[in-house]
Structure 1
Amino acid sequence: MMTTYTVADGRLAMRDGILPVGDLAGAVWIDLLNPTPEEGRAVKDALKLEIPTREEMQEIESSSRLYREDDALFLTANFLYGVEGGEYGSTPITFVLSNSALVTVRYATPKAFSSFALRCQRSPGLLATPDAVMLHLFEQIVDRLADILERVGSDMDRASAASFRSARSKVKATTRDHDLREALITLGQVGEVTTRANETLLGLTRILSFVGAEKATAVRKENQSLLKTLVRDVRSLVDHAAFLNGKANFLLDAVLGILNVEQNAIIKTFTVASVALMPPTLIASIYGMNFRHMPELDSTFGYPAALLLMVCSAALPILYFKRKGWL
Structure 2
Amino acid sequence: MITTYRVEAGQMRVGDLLPVPPGPGEAAATPSALPIWIDLMQPTLQEERLVEQLIGVELPTREEMQEIEASSRLYREGDVLFMTANFLHGADTGEVGSTPITFVLTTHCLVTIRHATPKAFGVFAARAAKNPSLASTADGVMLGLFEQVVDRLADILERIGADMDRTSQAAFRAARSKEVASKKEQALKEALIALGTVGEITARTSDTLLGLSRILAFIAAESDSCIRRENKGRIKTLARDVRSLMDHGKFLNDKATFLLDAVLGIINIEQSAIIKTFSVVAVVFLPPTLVASIYGMNFEVMPELQWTLGYPLALGLMVFSAVAPLWYFRRKGWL
TM-score range for the pair, normalised by the shorter chain length = over 0.9
Task: Give the AA of the match of 2:84.
Answer: T
Structure 1 residues 23-32 or 254-263, which shifts more?
23-32
Shift of 1:19: 4.8
8 Å CA contact 1:74–1:95 kept in 2: the answer is yes
Provide Cα deviations, 1:21-53, integer angstroms capped at 9, x if missing partner. 469933100000011122222212222121111
Task: Give the AA of the match of 1:11.
Answer: Q
Could you tell me how far apart the structure 2 residues matched to 1:170 and 1:272 are?
21
Alignment gaps of 5+ in structure 1? none
Match of 2:265 in 1: 257
Task: Give the AA of the match of 1:122.
Answer: K
8 Å CA contact 2:19–2:54 kept in 1: the answer is no
Structure 1 residues 170-179 or 43-52, which shifts more?
43-52
The number of aligned residues is: 327
Matched, 1:66 2:74: yes
**Aligned-partner SS, 1:87:** coil
Match of 1:243 in 2: 251
Matched, 1:294 2:302: yes
Matched, 1:314 2:314: no
8 Å CA contact 2:18–2:34 kept in 1: the answer is no
Equivalent residue in structure 2 for 1:266, among 271, 274, 298? 274
Match of 1:103 in 2: 111
Equivalent residue in structure 2 for 1:199, among 204, 207, 213? 207
Shift of 1:189: 1.2
**Aligned-partner SS, 2:225:** helix
Alignment gaps of 5+ in structure 2? 22-28
Could you tell me how far apart the structure 2 residues matched to 1:301 and 1:160 are?
61
Shift of 1:17: 4.9
8 Å CA contact 1:159–1:179 kept in 2: the answer is no
Match of 1:231 in 2: 239
Provide Cα deviations, 1:181-232, integer angstroms capped at 9, x if missing partner. 1111111111111111111111101000000111233221222211111000
Sequence identity percentage: 61
Task: Give the AA of the match of 1:270.
Answer: F
8 Å CA contact 1:25–1:46 kept in 2: the answer is no
8 Å CA contact 2:110–2:141 kept in 1: the answer is yes
8 Å CA contact 1:3–1:15 kept in 2: the answer is yes
Match of 2:25 in 1: none
Shift of 1:249: 0.8
8 Å CA contact 2:88–2:99 kept in 1: the answer is yes
Could you tell me how far apart the structure 2 residues matched to 1:137 and 1:214 are?
19
Equivalent residue in structure 1 for 2:47, among 36, 39, 57? 39
8 Å CA contact 2:19–2:34 kept in 1: the answer is no
Structure 1 residues 247-256 or 22-31, which shifts more?
22-31
Task: Give the AA of the match of 2:293.
Answer: S
Task: Give the AA of the match of 2:211.
Answer: G
Equivalent residue in structure 2 for 1:133, among 141, 157, 166? 141
Matched, 1:2 2:15: no
Shift of 1:299: 3.1
Could you tell me how far apart the structure 2 residues matched to 1:255 and 1:137 are?
39
Shift of 1:155: 1.6
Scaled by the length of structure 2, the TM-score of the pair is 0.94
Task: Give the AA of the match of 1:72.
Answer: V
Shift of 1:294: 3.1
**Aligned-partner SS, 1:85:** coil
8 Å CA contact 2:19–2:33 kept in 1: the answer is no
8 Å CA contact 1:25–1:47 kept in 2: the answer is no
Aligned alpha-carbon RMSD (Å) = 1.6
8 Å CA contact 2:87–2:99 kept in 1: the answer is yes
Structure 1 residues 309-318 or 235-244, which shifts more?
309-318
**Aligned-partner SS, 1:217:** coil
Shift of 1:174: 0.6
**Aligned-partner SS, 1:218:** coil
Structure 1 residues 46-55 or 214-223, which shifts more?
214-223
8 Å CA contact 1:166–1:179 kept in 2: the answer is yes
Shift of 1:297: 2.1
Task: Give the AA of the match of 2:64.
Answer: E
Shift of 1:18: 4.7
8 Å CA contact 1:92–1:106 kept in 2: the answer is yes
